[in-house]
Amino acid sequence: MPESVTAALIAIFLWWLTTGVILFAVATLAHQRLTLGAGSMILLSAGLITLHQTAEDVSAAGAYLSFLAALAIWGAVEISFLGGLITGPNRKELASDLTGLQRFWSATRVVLWHEIFILLLGFLLIMAFAHGPNRIGLMTYGILWVMRLSAKLNLYLGVRNTGETLLPEHLRYMSSYFAHRPMNLLFPFSITLGTLLSAWLFHQAFAVGADAHQLVGFMLIATIASLAVIEHWFLMLPLPIEALWRWGMRDKNAPAQTATWFTDRSGPFDTRPLDALLARITAGAYGSIESLRGSIRSPEGWLSLDFVDGTMHLRRAAATEASRTGIIVTGRLLDMHGIQSEFEDYALRHGA
């Protein structure tokens, strides 16, 4: 197998594995902050030591180790945030009367200490390792920071799929600062610049005269940058990206939740797009669904919806005076606003 393909596959696997492990660790040790803090410090120390040891190593192995060191450091950064160790001075839900600059400042204060921590850590890495010929780890850290900052800004401005089910319970208040919109003005720039950056990194990997260190190193970084672009696309696509890490999410320990949606629109509603909508929701795009029941008025009459034991059943139902189009969803780690928005959008688009 070509070295470039090997490097790309390793980057993809590590992206998937490290994300799941971090989610699992944070969910499992949510109430053991000392343990999370100790684990974060161990990862940070291991990453810094490895970067120091490989700063002068311009072999393919040096590129891999420097990349792994950056992932360890970024893992410490993520644990410090998701574990609630370093967030910001504001730990409350968004007040309903805040708009404009007041809303932005309130949202900034939610993550302020963590953003300062990332900047200071990045400055330390530049001061310590920018002089060495092996800068793969330093570049990896920079890419991860830039793309994560872009994702946070897009969540604030408004996306279709906020992925708030990935937030642990103690950080669920942050979801009140996410906006649900089909598009925002920043998103096209984020995608375009991220794609151009990824293309440039791939070009560097395959540049004429590139040695093994450059090929492997830039291939690893380019793959991570491309995955970050894909993650951005998932913000706008109602697809269950959370399903990739369901094994790392301790949703069985989360409290059961119920989301409801009913419409006063009489319909009838076109049921042809309904299968795709129900498949997205029951697959986990908005949390772990245990049951979904409801009814909808179709051109042929009333349909009852019943999702049990992992299977969706649609049956003809007799109309009653109380018949009303709507659903009741029960599950864990639910993005209730996302579920309601999906059905409201369906009703607007496909109602008579």
Closest to 86 in 3D by CA, of 124, 36, 136:
36
Helix, strand, coil distribution of the chain in percent, nearest 5: 60, 15, 25
Question: What pLDDT sits at residue 102?
Answer: 93
Residue 153 confidence class, pLDDT cut points 50, 70, 90 = very high
CB of 186 closer than 8 Å to CB of 154: yes
Residue 191 has pLDDT above 90, yes or no: yes
| Residue 201 CB neighbours (<10 A) | 21
Q: What is the pLDDT of residues 199-236, one digit of tens each?
A: 999 999 999 989 999 999 999 999 999 999 999 998 88
Q: Give me the torsion for CA of 114, 120, 124, 130, rounded to 10°.
A: 100
| Residue 31 CB neighbours (<10 A) | 8
Range in 47-61, 134-148, 225-239, 311-325 with the lowest mean pLDDT:
311-325
**Where do we find the tokens 């993005």?**
335
Q: What is the pLDDT of residues 236-275, one digit of tens each?
A: 886 666 667 766 665 555 667 787 888 888 778 888 888 8
Mean pLDDT throughout 20-48?
87
The region, left, alpha or beta by phi > 0 then psi within -120 to 50, assigned to residue 309 is left
Share of the chain above pLDDT 70, in %: 93
Range in 35-39, 330-334, 343-347 with the lowest mean pLDDT:
330-334
Question: What pLDDT sits at residue 321?
Answer: 56
Which tokens in the block code for residue 110? Answer: 């939610």
Q: Give me the torsion for CA of 89, 92, 97, 98, rounded to 10°.
A: 30
CB of 248 closer than 8 Å to CB of 78: no
Specify the pTM: 0.76
Mean pLDDT throughout 99-128?
94
The whole-angstrom separation of Cα 329 and Cα 293 is 7
Share of the chain above pLDDT 90, in %: 46
CB of 343 closer than 8 Å to CB of 276: no
Mean pLDDT throughout 88-102?
88
The region, left, alpha or beta by phi > 0 then psi within -120 to 50, assigned to residue 221 is alpha
Residue 35 has pLDDT above 60, yes or no: yes
Quick one: which H or E segment has residue 130?
A: none
Contact partners, residue 255, CB within 8 Å, separation at least 6: 169, 332
**Where do we find the tokens 């005269």?**
209
Q: What is the pLDDT of residues 3-26, one digit of tens each?
A: 889 999 999 999 998 988 888 888
Largest Cα separation within the chain, whole Å, is 77
Question: What pLDDT sits at residue 255?
Answer: 66
Domains located in the chain, CATH noted: 3-248 (no CATH), 255-350 (3.30.1220.10)
Residue 119 has pLDDT above 90, yes or no: yes
Question: What pLDDT sits at residue 138?
Answer: 95
Mean pLDDT throughout 120-127?
94
Give DSSP secondary structure letters for 222-248.
HHHHHHHHHHHHHHHS---GGGGGGGG
